[in-house]
Amino acid sequence: MSKFVLVHGAWHTGAEFEPTAAAIRSAGHEVLTPTIKGNRPGDAKTAGLAEAIQSIVDYFIENNLSDVILAGHSYGGMVITGVADRVPERIRRLVYWNAFVPNNGESLNDMVPPHYVGMFDAIHAERGDGSVVLPFPVWREAFINDGDLALAQSAYDRLNPHPLKTFSDRISLSRNPAEMQIAKSYVNCTEDTALPHSFSWHPRLSEKLGLFRLVQVQGSHELCFTNPARLAQALLDAGRD
Amino acid sequence: MSKFVLVHGAWHTGAEFEPTAAAIRSAGHEVLTPTIKGNRPGDAKTAGLAEAIQSIVDYFIENNLSDVILAGHSYGGMVITGVADRVPERIRRLVYWNAFVPNNGESLNDMVPPHYVGMFDAIHAERGDGSVVLPFPVWREAFINDGDLALAQSAYDRLNPHPLKTFSDRISLSRNPAEMQIAKSYVNCTEDTALPHSFSWHPRLSEKLGLFRLVQVQGSHELCFTNPARLAQALLDAGRD
Amino acid sequence: MSKFVLVHGAWHTGAEFEPTAAAIRSAGHEVLTPTIKGNRPGDAKTAGLAEAIQSIVDYFIENNLSDVILAGHSYGGMVITGVADRVPERIRRLVYWNAFVPNNGESLNDMVPPHYVGMFDAIHAERGDGSVVLPFPVWREAFINDGDLALAQSAYDRLNPHPLKTFSDRISLSRNPAEMQIAKSYVNCTEDTALPHSFSWHPRLSEKLGLFRLVQVQGSHELCFTNPARLAQALLDAGRD
């Protein structure tokens, strides 16, 4: 039996990982799905990246977690990288699922195309509470391209505004991921166009891990909605020793 | 129920789309498979790109088509882009299946490797009627690599000589595809080597669409022969709202 | 009925191809799995590339082989390219399975990332008998990423030290693969990270073949261990006319 902690992406909470978690539990494992500070109901949308990371470090300590397979989705890659830097002794393996892989001093915005940064800034300025949301057409076509319109809409309705500061803050790490003495895997959904394929998740970001295990699976950036059982299998293949 | 118009590629006619169309009709939709001017039995092989586009615009008007999911294969991408520029109000969504995506002023030849242009020119010079054909070894290895030899041969026997002028003519558009206010999808067959993967359909050409939905499916450039049911499903996934 | 000769990669012998060969034989074909000089039990680890190639040429002559579908895996691509240059009249088609494709004067080391060359040189210096081995973590994560740990270990235990000289020797060819008048296919396992995907098997090396047939299949560099039946089907699809 292994112990998985699944860390969600921007606009999500841990609840959206529950169908995936249930499928992993069915295979006999323990799975936890915390929500990062800034995405919990009632959270102020002014949280920065350091607070986001600290909230998951705190979760590890409060729950006395060790020997964890720590998986992060998308923005969650920023968070698990920071957690691995703070409490490496509690982690058995890092699993990035179409996730950002930062080196010391990089922000999420440093790894996305400039037109995304411009779009986020414009939406942020309009909202005025520190948050950014994703326009539905972008979500439907580029994030959840493998679902039908009804699922795209119902999933969109569950998203929460995301604190933009977590995208622009630079991460502070004592060592880059490639130098971390922790096993690492990268799960790549082959139809994930949340980042354009000319500016890819894999291999552009995955190879920043140094030696890592690649698992690929058909699906979009939102396989947690469109095929959570398939995602669960990919996370199991990525997470095993 | 949706209405699909499937526009074939070079050397093909609408008839080669019929097995795919039948599978889409089985799912409850209407499907039309016109043949572009220059590829119809008896057509002179001197037609240019503007005439080719106009023939499909005429087809829309004569049949009073609206709310159409307009799909184009390969060279058909040139044609549907031109049609979308002329009669955007009749189109619900554009679907490119391993198809060329031209900006204003570009020709198909601008998007293929130089050695293809040279090969086409040499064959055209030899034939002398304005047409070009594809050498069987290129067809067998690079276009229909997922079929067996018997299917490769029987499919090849159905092809018709193609007017080369449609490859060298530059398209005239009032706006580029990325600026068109029409929903767009791109179906990419992952083993399609009709264009070399170092000079790819996706993402090199697909990303010229701006925001678009990616659907990927295993198969060659000629999935309409090798697995029309699978192609039909991809077109349905690409064509839905 | 076709006749296949399967040429293994570095650290392997022909025996590791036997489950794949058995599946091809079940489809009615003849399959031979020779072991290259330098990898046979008792071989000195000082063999160079020319000796390796000559050992397979000798195998062809001793067994009076002709009309052969000659497949090579990884380093085996160096060997089959050399064999095809020496005895082209005996070969019906070349099949490269995630294999190196050398032009005249190139070595295997010319086609791998510099950090691999450095790693190999360091291990070679330490061993002192001319051989190099692959560190288990590299094997487990980057070569056999689709297997479980038990299979990764049992497969690793079957490997033999490989003569490094075969990696640094430059091949001598009378013509480059693209100019060879032999049909060619390339089987690409889509999760093969034995070479990083930013420095890829396909299309970086495959396209050196000129006109070739692409067959892609899900799996790692060691599909001969993790799914030999699937590999057999890919080799059949690649090997047919």
C181 at interface of A, judged by CB pairs closer than 8 A: no
Beta bridge partners of B189: B217
CB contact under 8 A, A149 and B203: no
- Quick check: B214 and A193 CB within 8 A? yes
At residue C20 the predicted structure's pLDDT band, cuts being 50, 70 and 90, is very high
Query: Alpha helices, DSSP H only, in chain B?
Result: 18-26, 49-62, 76-86, 114-127, 136-138, 149-156, 165-168, 223-226, 228-239
Tens of pLDDT, residue by residue over B10-20, are: 999 999 999 99
Q: Does A240 touch chain C (CB under 8 A)?
A: yes
Q: Which of A2, A74, A107, A185 is catalytic?
A: A74
| pLDDT confidence of residue C233 | 98
Query: Which segments within C74-220 are labelled E, that is strand?
Result: 91-97, 131-132, 162-163, 183-189, 213-217
Active-site annotation holds for A2: no
Query: How many residues in total does chain C contain?
Result: 241
Measured between CA atoms, the residue of chain C closest to residue B152 is C241
Count the helices and strands in chain C (H runs, E runs): 9, 8
User: Quick one: which of A123, C203, A193 has its CA closest to B209?
Assistant: A193
The token pair that represents A85 in the structure block:
């830097």
Question: Which residues of chain B are within 8 Å of residue A142 when distances are taken between CB atoms?
Answer: 211-213
Place of tokens 């291999």: A203
Q: Coil, strand, or helix at residue B77?
A: helix
C78 phi and psi angles, rounded to 5 deg: -65, -45
Average pLDDT, chain C: 98
pLDDT digits (tens, 9 = 90+) for B191-235: 999 999 999 999 999 999 999 999 999 999 999 999 999 999 999
Q: Residue with structure tokens 């067998």?
A: B140
Question: What residue type is assigned to position B154 of the chain?
Answer: S
* C-alpha closest to that of B32 among B49, B12, B55, B15: B15
| Residue C27 at interface with chain A, using a CB cutoff of 8 Å | no
Give the chain A residue whose CA is nearest to the CA of C189. Answer: A216
Its pTM surpasses 0.90: yes
CB contact under 8 A, B142 and C204: no
Helix (H, G, I), strand (E, B) or coil at C93: strand
Handedness of CA A37, A38, A41, A42 (dihedral sign): positive
* Cα dihedral A219/A220/A223/A225 (nearest 10): -130
To the nearest whole angstrom, how far is the Cα of C134 from the nearest Cα of chain B? 30
Contact list, B190 vs chain C (CB under 8 Å) = 216
pLDDT in tens, chain A (241 residues): 999 999 999 999 999 999 999 999 999 999 999 999 999 999 999 999 999 999 999 999 999 999 999 999 999 999 999 999 999 999 999 999 999 999 999 999 999 999 999 999 999 999 999 999 999 999 999 999 999 999 999 999 999 999 999 999 999 999 999 999 999 999 999 999 999 999 999 999 999 999 999 999 999 999 999 999 999 999 999 999 9
Close Cβ partners of A172 (under 8 Å, ≥ 6 residues apart):
A50, A82, A104, A105
Question: Which pLDDT value is given to residue C75?
Answer: 98
**Cβ neighbourhood burial of B45 (10 Å; 0-12, 13-18, 19+):** buried
| Partner residue opposite B148 with nearest CB, options C207, C212, C240 | C240
- For residue C145, report the phi and psi dihedrals to the nearest 5 degrees: -65, -20
Torsion, Cα of C139, C143, C147, C152 (10° steps):
-20
